[in-house]
Amino acid sequence: MEHQTDELTLSDILHIFKKRQIWFWIIFVLTIFATLIYLVFFATPIYEVSTKIKIPVSSGKVSLPSSLSGAVAFISGGSVSSPGLSDQIEIIKSRKTLEKVINDLNLMDYFKSKIIDEEAKEKLTINSVISRLQQDIITVEPLKDTSFLEIKVSLDDKEMAYKISKALVDAYTQISKELNKDENTYLIEFIEKQLPKTEKELLEIEEKLKQFKKTKSILPSKEAELLINSLSGFDTQYYSTQIEYTTLKAKLEDLKSKISEFKDLINKLDYIPNSSIISLLRQKLVEYQIEYKSSLEKYSPNSIEIKESEIRIRETEKKIKEEIDNIVKSSFNLDDPILSNIYSQIVETQAAIEISKAKLEALSSLKRELENKIKSLPDIEQEYLALERDYQLKQSAYILLKQKLEEAKLSTAGFTLNVPIIIDEPFIPEEPAKPNKKLVLAIGGVLGIFLGILAVFLAEAGDKKVRDPYDIEHLTSIEPIIVSKNYKNTNLEFSNGIKTLSLNLLKDVSTKIIGITSVGKFEEKSDISLELSKFFALSEKTLLVDLDFENSYISKILKIENKPIIDKENNIYKFNENLDILLTDKISKPSEFLALIDKFKSEFETIKENYSHIIINLPNSEDPEFVILQTFCEKFVLITKKNVSLKENLIKAYNELKNAIIVLSK
């Protein structure tokens, strides 16, 4: 019969846990103790400085675009684009931002001071510091369902953590402002530089004009007035276009500097103005612009001639843009998401530059025509017109600059709203954020429970000895009979275990010879054999045969109680009225054992006829002699002892003895 192989039930698990609970509590307490030691002596306190910033959403006409890498930013005419949180996280943790923080706080020296090993100090580089900041120290996370970012700086030095947090926010804000520059920003910078110069020149030319009028009394002719008014108008348009052209060039140059990490890209952009097709289209556009300006002097703005001229100008501008688009597209790797995102902006900027060039050339041509007409006037009138023209030009330029400056400032009035806003300023924490002692203890407790349970089952799986009735029942599917040591050795007083065992054996009336063996060596087997024999002898003639050659327990009992021998030839003693005990001689050689077996076989057939029950006290089941001696028995009692009998031997013995009754001796 094979031993039990069913899966463990809940009751089995609870039983195992109850039996091995000492292991659970030892492991649990040790785990909690180890956690406490770690928290007190080994855990490094980590201070966390937190800052919350608001990333602005789109508003008004202000534009806050950003490339996927956060390396370039520029406007899209009239469009609005608020930065994504992911883009801003990359900017905050970018190399450019962190290098500024490292330089401002001299973090290289700080981290070197933390290293004891001189060789490791030499190996510390700015790349390794940046990597540590990105991976271990700085954490940037978006707050759910908001446009807020939380920046956390975690370090064992709370003062330095605060400084890094402060420097990081400052560096990010500065870089964000740089990246968020739009066309109006470039225009404001240009005008603020140009305005003082123009104002000074205006005052100088005004003074010259006053001096001329004082010294020379002259009034310009009607023709001269018309010429100077027309020329002043062209000068104003030219100057306005020149400002626009300068702003566009500044924007393009700034874009080039920001994307300089892309190899060969800037050189390719420089080829655009030299394209033969672009040059031809720009020349046509100059002609159409001159034609348009000339037509305005002859026709009304709503006339067919003017409308046709405007259509030709728009079509030419469209062709210039398409040609630039083709050239730039061939220069970009459109599989690159960053380049794909910015190439259209480059096309717009470069096309606007080409159109401005054409407009400047057209205005220059018209101005030259008027200047040639002025040269035909008298010299003194030419001198007056030149001063008047310069005065009007400088005055128009000054007014235009002031107007453009105010317009640009109004356009960027809400621009600062698109700069990240600090909601929660960083501060020096009083208590460390890590380790969270309560959480670590809780985790230690959970780990202790897990390890305790694991220890319980490992102890159960590794235990080779029988510990309780459950082990026997689980291994053999048989419920054992429990026999305690606490019984009295009298004919009338037996333990309940002996009684139960005896009654189970008496159920089978056909069984006469019962073998008693054990799993392991212990005296309880012989004791139970004697007590069982006493019980059977209460009603019928019983013989106890002691074939356990290594155990002299029964012979000692006979000597102690001074029992008489009734058959010297067979060595049979009279224990009581119905109980006789047959003792065998001790053997030391295999040949003696074989001789004894032969003698016992010949005499046993005669002896057993005189008894109703025969109990044979066999050697333990692992004894080699047991294999031969068990052949004399009809039924078996297999005795196990708590904390002595091995599970493996129990299974083997039970499989050999088939339907043996199992007894557990406690």
pLDDT of residue 653: 92
Residue 630 tokens read as: 């068990």
Q: Using omega within 30 degrees of 0 as the cis cutoff, is the peptide bond preceding 624 cis? A: no
Q: Are 69 and 86 in contact (CB under 8 A)?
A: no
Q: In 3D, which of 665, 442, 584, 617 has the Cα closest to residue 513?
A: 617
Summarize the confidence of residues 12-29 as an average pLDDT.
89
CA distances from 154 to 140, 438, 600 (A): 11, 19, 88
CA distance 234 to 221: 20
The residue with greater pLDDT, 566 or 594, is: 566
CA distance readout (Å), 564 to 528, 533, 561, 571, 656 = 22, 18, 9, 10, 37
- Residue 257: C-alpha distances to residues 208, 446, 572 (Å): 43, 57, 118
Quickly tell me which residue has 């390396």 as its tokens: 71
Rounded Cα gap, residues 161 and 143, in angstroms: 21
Is 60 exceeded by the pLDDT of residue 235?
A: yes
pLDDT band at 449 (very low <50, low <70, confident <90, very high): very high
Task: Please name which of 26, 28, 27, 22 lies closest in space to residue 467, comparing C-alpha atoms.
Answer: 22
Most trustworthy range by pLDDT among 116-120, 258-262, 338-342, 484-488: 116-120
What are the backbone angles phi and psi of residue 618, rounded to the nearest 5°? -85, 165
Answer whether residue 208 shows pLDDT above 90.
no
Looking at residue 83, its pLDDT comes to 45
Residue ranges of alpha helices (H) inside 20-146 are 21-37, 85-92, 95-105, 107-113, 118-123, 126-132
Cα–Cα distance, 539 to 517 (Å, whole number): 24
Look at residue 451 and tell me whether its pLDDT is greater than 70.
yes
Alpha helix positions (H), 412-515: 437-462, 469-476, 496-506
Q: Give pLDDT, residue 224.
A: 65
Cα–Cα distance measured from residue 443 to residue 453, given in angstroms and rounded to the nearest whole number: 15
Given a contact cutoff of 8 angstroms between Cβ atoms, the answer to whether 73 and 66 are in contact is yes
Residues 246-259, mean pLDDT to the nearest whole number: 72
Q: Which two tokens stand for residue 249?
A: 């060039």
Q: What is the pLDDT of residue 1?
A: 44
Per-residue pLDDT band at 262 (split at 50, 70, 90): very low
Nearest to 259 by CA among 73, 95, 72: 72
Identify the three-state secondary structure at position 352. helix
pLDDT at 613 over 60: yes
What local confidence, expressed as pLDDT, does residue 579 receive?
92
| pLDDT at residue 28, rounded to an integer | 94
Rg (CA), the chain: 55
Band (70; pLDDT cuts 50, 70, 90): very low
- The answer to whether 449 and 27 have CB atoms below 8 angstroms apart is no
Q: Which residues pair with 545 in a beta bridge?
A: 582, 616
**Placement of tokens 């968020």 in the chain:** 180
Query: Encoding tokens for residue 95?
Result: 């190399």
223 pLDDT band (50/70/90 cuts)? low
Q: For residue 140, which amino acid is it? A: V
